[in-house]
C-alpha cells in the first residue's frame, strides 16, 4: 500500500472525527444553555424581606399633611442628640425634636418639655394610635420624661438619649419601650383627616397594633 495514500486517509478520518466531535459539543452547549435560560425564566422571583420598605409603604398611603410631617421627621434621622437641643445644627433632645418638626411643617409652637407636651391635645388609647400622634414614656421618676412621634406599624421616631446619641426609629413593642410607655396624645386634627388616615392604613398594620397592645401600658 502506498504510504502517502494511507497517511492521507488517516488524516481525513481524524479530521472528520474532529469535526463531528466539535459539532456534538457545540450542539450540547447550545441546547444546554437554552434549557438553562428557560429554567431560569421559569423560576419565581424570591420574595422581598418582610421588614424592608414596610414603613415607606404605609407612609405613601397617608394624606399629604401627615406624610409631609413624618417625612420631615424621618429626614432628621441620625441627627445627634444634645440635651436642650432644638435644631439639626446643634442636635436635638426629645421634646426639642418634636417641637422642631411640628413648627416647620404645621407652623405651631409647642412647649420644649416632654411633660408639658403630655398635657396638650387629646389623650387616646394605644389601639387608637395613628401616624403623627405623640407617644410618651416615664422612666425613673413619676413625671413624663420622653416623647416621640408615632410613624405607624408600631414604630416611632425620637431623639433617643445621650447613650444612643441620635434621632432614631424604635419599636413600641420592644421590651424596653413597652415597659416605659405611659400614654399617647393626638394634637388637634380635623376629624375628616383622622378618618382619612385610619382608612389609608393597611388592615394588617391595624390588626398587629391591636394584638400587640396588651404588652403596652396605657395609664
Catalytic-role residue among 104, 112, 115, 158 = 158
Quick one: pLDDT band at residue 34, thresholds 50, 70, 90?
very low
Q: Write the pLDDT tens digit of every residue in 39-75.
A: 323 333 333 333 334 445 456 778 888 999 999 999 9
Residue 160 has pLDDT above 60, yes or no: yes
Q: Is 112 a catalytic residue?
A: no
25 part of a folded domain: no
Please count the other Cβ atoms lying within 10 Å of the Cβ belonging to residue 11: 10
Please count the other Cβ atoms lying within 10 Å of the Cβ belonging to residue 36: 10
Q: Write the pLDDT tens digit of every residue in 98-141.
A: 999 999 998 889 999 999 999 999 999 999 999 999 999 998 77
Q: Note the pLDDT of residue 59.
A: 65
Distance CA 90, CA 203 (A): 40
- The parent domain of residue 145 ranges over 54-215
Query: Backbone phi, then psi, for 181, in 5-degree steps?
Result: -60, 135
Q: Note the pLDDT of residue 118.
A: 96
Per-residue pLDDT, averaged over 83-109, amounts to 95
200 part of a folded domain: yes
Catalytic-role residue among 94, 104, 112, 115 = 94
CA dihedral (23, 24, 30, 31) positive or negative? positive
Q: Note the pLDDT of residue 196.
A: 52
46 part of a folded domain: no
122 part of a folded domain: yes
- How many residues appear in the chain? 219
Distance CA 128, CA 30 (A): 62
Which of these ranges, 122-131, 159-168, 199-208, has the smallest mean pLDDT? 199-208
Q: Note the pLDDT of residue 62.
A: 80
Residue 184 has pLDDT above 70, yes or no: yes
Distance CA 164, CA 201 (A): 30
170 part of a folded domain: yes
Give residue 53's region: left, alpha or beta (phi > 0; psi -120 to 50). left
Residue 95 has pLDDT above 70, yes or no: yes
Q: Note the pLDDT of residue 13.
A: 55
Q: Note the pLDDT of residue 58.
A: 58
Q: What is the pTM of this model?
A: 0.65
Residue keyed to cell 409652637: 109
Report how many domains make up the chain.
Answer: 1
Q: Is 180 a catalytic residue?
A: no
Domain CATH number, residue 127: 3.90.1720.10
7 part of a folded domain: no
Where do runs of H (alpha helix) occur along the chain?
3-42, 54-60, 64-75, 94-105, 114-117, 175-180, 191-200, 203-212
Amino acid at each position: 500500500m502506498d504510504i502517502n495514500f494511507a497517511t492521507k486517509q488517516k488524516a481525513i478520518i481524524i479530521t472528520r472525527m474532529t469535526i463531528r466531535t466539535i459539532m456534538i459539543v457545540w450542539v450540547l452547549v447550545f441546547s444546554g444553555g437554552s434549557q438553562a435560560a428557560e429554567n431560569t425564566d421559569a423560576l419565581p422571583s424570591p420574595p422581598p424581606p418582610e421588614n424592608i420598605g414596610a414603613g415607606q409603604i404605609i407612609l405613601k398611603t397617608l394624606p399629604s399633611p401627615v406624610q409631609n410631617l413624618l417625612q420631615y421627621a424621618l429626614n432628621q434621622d441620625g441627627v445627634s442628640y444634645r440635651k436642650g437641643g432644638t435644631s439639626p445644627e446643634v442636635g436635638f433632645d426629645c421634646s426639642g425634636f418634636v417641637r422642631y418638626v411640628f413648627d416647620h411643617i404645621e407652623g405651631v409652637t409647642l412647649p420644649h418639655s416632654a411633660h408639658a407636651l403630655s398635657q396638650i391635645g387629646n389623650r387616646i388609647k394605644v389601639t387608637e394610635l395613628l401616624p403623627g400622634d405623640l407617644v410618651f414614656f416615664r422612666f425613673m421618676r413619676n413625671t413624663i420624661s420622653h416623647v416621640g412621634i408615632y410613624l405607624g406599624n408600631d414604630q416611632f421616631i425620637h431623639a433617643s438619649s445621650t447613650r444612643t446619641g441620635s434621632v432614631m426609629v424604635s419599636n413600641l413593642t420592644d421590651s424596653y419601650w413597652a415597659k416605659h410607655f405611659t400614654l399617647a396624645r393626638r394634637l388637634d386634627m380635623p376629624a375628616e383627616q383622622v378618618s382619612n388616615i385610619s382608612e389609608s392604613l393597611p388592615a394588617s398594620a391595624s390588626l398587629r397594633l391591636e394584638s400587640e397592645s396588651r404588652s403596652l401600658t396605657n395609664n
